[in-house]
Structure 1
Amino acid sequence: MHAIMLAAGRGIRLSNGAGHPKCLLEFGGKTLLRRHIAILESLGIERMTIVVGFKAEEIHAELAAIGAKSWIDTIHNPRFEEGAVVSLCAARDVLRSGSDILFMDADVLYDPVVLQRLIQSPHRNCLLIDRDLEPGPEPVKACLRGGQLVEFGKIVSGDFEAMGEWPGFLKLEPLMADRLAAATERFVANGRAAEPYEPAMREVFFADSTHRIGCEDITGMAWIEIDTPEDLRRAHEVVEPALHGG
């Protein structure tokens, strides 16, 4: 399995774009990046590609400090000021590599069992869902009917029975990964480079009813995506202590 991690953005809502890459935020003396790598190693991931952009040299310095990892490489996205779909498009060759893909956002602090649940799921195409959803337009929502994914995105509508937050991790078989690569290319080519990647994913998820996206419930597990100062406070005060049984 080949992990793709997006770590190119400025994190404007967290630091007005003047800080450091969010994957270098520290918790318990370890950066998010160092934590990601340790967890991926423990779960047997064979390859990892990190898409970098904003202050990429700082990420490279952290990788050097962690120690040379022959299974990790980076791709530079010079258009990191644009939407996240451009960063995902930068990894299109990896999406087309013929490997199973583990997609990851870099700005998530989580219990390793969260990622383990996804990797070990019997669904080859799978996302995670946390039913403890805070209301509002920001969380990316996964909506289910009859246990099947029927809607996905920040703004959702329609007939569904359950809704939860998606933490930014996704597993795809090679066929679906290839389709996602093509979707990101279409978005960039058609003037939609300012958009996030979720609309491209949504297009792929619902294009073919024979290749459904499975879901694994992680409700009650400790995790947080860090976008705002309030998220950062909660990560330090609530989520990180929970990872140690606090």
Structure 2
Amino acid sequence: MRAIILAAGMGLRLVQPEGQQKPKCLLRFGDVSLLERHLQLLKAAGVGEIVFVLGFKHEMVEAELDSIDWKPSTEVVVNSEFSLGSVLSVHTAAEALTRGGDVLLMDADVLYDERVLDPLVANPQAHINRLLIDRDFEAGDEPVKLCIDNGVPVELRKQVVAGLKFDTIGESVGFFRFDERAARRLAEIVADYVATGRANLPHEEAVRDLLQERSQTFDIADVTGAPWIEIDFQNDVKRAADEVLPQLNQLAGVLR
């Protein structure tokens, strides 16, 4: 199993001191960067093949990787047009996406408990497609909503289409597992986005297309109750430090 971690963006919505901007994966909580937390949690879960998609100030991230001196070494691919959407980052990682075997596609800017990762790495030989849902979320325009009808994902978007039929709604954690066939199809969809001038879109749009064409079967893992937060705004940094990190420190895990 391989993890592809998207860490190319500029994080423009996160206000940082002038001249001190850095990739969000380098934010530190409990004196451990988000980047290193990903590495530790994936290692504990048995995922040793890790690919980082970098862009904005990628040298800083590569320096952090060097300082950690992680073994086995992680792969790095660089999206030079990182100011565009994350669709382009996924396209940049197309070779890793289509190399074979199951793939985890993960946002880098998430502080999370190992219980969020557990459903994605379960049964590594099973070759499955899996989405994560948190039913305890704050309504609004920001969360990417995952809507399910009778066990089938029917929507993955910030704005839910009016009149859509579903029986369950929650927030998508932003981590996905794809089997080899689904990963190759996602790579094709993403390539079409880039070829048709839609590289500025978030990669969830391509995943949404994959879900809605129903060419693959996806199951849903409910991680409601497990602490996690995606860090987009300055208030998220405060919540991560004041609310989420203390919960992680109280739970058995690989990091304290």
TM over 0.5: yes
Query: Which stretch has the larger CA shift, 150-159 or 22-31?
Result: 150-159
1:128 to 124, 127, 132: 132
What letter matches 2:31 in structure 1? G
Q: CA deviation at 1:80?
A: 0.2
Q: Gaps spanning 5+ residues in structure 2: where?
A: 252-256
**Contact 1:130-1:166 at 8 Å conserved across structures:** yes
2:189 to 183, 189, 192: 183
Rounded Cα–Cα distance in structure 1 between residues aligned with 2:230 and 2:38: 13
Q: CA deviation at 1:71?
A: 4.3
Rounded Cα–Cα distance in structure 2 between residues aligned with 1:71 and 1:123: 25
Which residue matches 2:22? 20
Rounded Cα–Cα distance in structure 2 between residues aligned with 1:66 and 1:153: 36
Matched, 1:231 2:209: no
Rounded Cα–Cα distance in structure 2 between residues aligned with 1:62 and 1:86: 24
What letter matches 2:168 in structure 1? A
Matched, 1:160 2:166: yes
**Contact 2:127-2:180 at 8 Å conserved across structures:** no
Helix, strand or coil at the partner of 1:12:
coil
For residues 117-163 of structure 1, what are the alpha-carbon distances to aligned partners after superposition, in whole Å with 9 as ceiling and x for unaligned?
22116671001000012111111111011122111111112000110
Which residue matches 2:146? 142
**Contact 1:123-1:214 at 8 Å conserved across structures:** no
**Contact 1:128-1:216 at 8 Å conserved across structures:** yes
2:67 to 54, 65, 68: 65
Which residue matches 2:254? none
CA RMSD in angstroms comes to 1.5
Matched, 1:2 2:2: yes
**Contact 2:8-2:55 at 8 Å conserved across structures:** yes
1:245 to 242, 250, 254: 250
* 1:70-149 superposed matches below 5 A: 70-120=72-122, 124-149=128-153
Rounded Cα–Cα distance in structure 2 between residues aligned with 1:23 and 1:113: 20
Rounded Cα–Cα distance in structure 1 between residues aligned with 2:167 and 2:214: 21
Helix, strand or coil at the partner of 1:193:
coil
Structure 1 residues 143 and 123: alpha-carbon distance in aligned structure 2, compared to 1, 3 A threshold? farther
Rounded Cα–Cα distance in structure 2 between residues aligned with 1:134 and 1:224: 12
Rounded Cα–Cα distance in structure 2 between residues aligned with 1:80 and 1:195: 12
Rounded Cα–Cα distance in structure 2 between residues aligned with 1:156 and 1:188: 24
Instruction: Find runs of 4+ consecutive structure 1 residues off by over 2 angstroms.
Output: 15-18, 68-71
Rounded Cα–Cα distance in structure 2 between residues aligned with 1:126 and 1:54: 29
What letter matches 1:65 in structure 2? S
Which residue matches 1:33? 35
TM-score computed with the length of structure 1 as normaliser: 0.96
Q: CA deviation at 1:245?
A: 2.0
Which residue matches 1:169? 175
Q: CA deviation at 1:204?
A: 1.0
Rounded Cα–Cα distance in structure 2 between residues aligned with 1:88 and 1:15: 25
Rounded Cα–Cα distance in structure 2 between residues aligned with 1:118 and 1:216: 8
Q: CA deviation at 1:53?
A: 0.6
Which residue matches 2:227? 222
